[in-house]
């Protein structure tokens, strides 16, 4: 609650209530941050915080968009697009619902080889066995 998030630069409490959180221990043992505060200065600062909350939230939106772009750039830099052509041989990943239940942990994780018959969409292909038998829902 009191730690600013990396993506927003603000604490969740500040985004909801428009001011920084004051912990009970900070009230009991006076520190320089709150030791000189009076009721009048508190009202003035609270009014200023409430006036500025829309600007703070707008800045948070910009910072979140920038952070999301940086994360996407970092992720996409390691993604390598592989395009397959009709006639290529591929292996298909074995999922838990298609895995042989008696294989145990040393069971196969890939099955095939399969032949690419048709390009259905971006990264989607129709597969068949080497004997040209169509694989359903491939």
Mean pLDDT is lowest, of 29-43, 44-58, 61-75, 124-138, for 29-43
Contact 64/15 with Cβ under 8 angstroms?
no
Q: What is the pLDDT of residue 108?
A: 86
Q: What is the pLDDT of residue 85?
A: 92
Mean pLDDT value across residues 83-101: 87
Mean pLDDT value across residues 23-29: 73
Question: Would you put residue 44 in left (φ > 0), alpha (ψ -120 to 50) or beta?
Answer: alpha
Average pLDDT, the chain: 84
User: For residue 77, is pLDDT > 80?
Assistant: yes
pLDDT tier at 68 (50, 70, 90 boundaries)?
A: very high
Report the helix count and the strand count for the chain, using DSSP H and E: 4, 3
- CA 127 from chain center: how many Å? 32
Q: What is the pLDDT of residue 36?
A: 67
Q: What is the pLDDT of residue 114?
A: 94
Q: What is the pLDDT of residue 1?
A: 62
What distances in angstroms separate CA 133 from CA 68, 100, 119, 127, 130, one per listed residue?
44, 21, 16, 9, 7
User: For residue 126, is pLDDT > 90?
Assistant: yes
């Amino acid at each position: 609650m009191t730690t600013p998030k990396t993506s927003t630069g603000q604490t969740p409490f500040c985004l909801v209530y428009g001011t920084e959180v004051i912990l009970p221990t900070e009230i009991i043992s006076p520190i320089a941050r709150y030791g000189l505060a009076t009721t009048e200065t508190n009202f003035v600062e609270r009014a200023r915080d409430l006036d500025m909350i829309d600007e703070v939230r707008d800045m948070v939106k910009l910072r979140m968009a920038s952070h999301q772009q940086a994360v996407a750039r970092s992720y996409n830099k390691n993604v390598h697009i592989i395009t397959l052509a009709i006639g290529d041989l591929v292996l298909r990943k074995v999922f838990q619902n298609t895995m042989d239940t008696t294989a145990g942990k040393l069971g196969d994780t890939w099955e095939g080889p399969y032949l690419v018959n048709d390009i259905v969409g971006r990264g989607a292909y129709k597969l068949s066995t080497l004997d040209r038998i169509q694989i359903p829902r491939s």
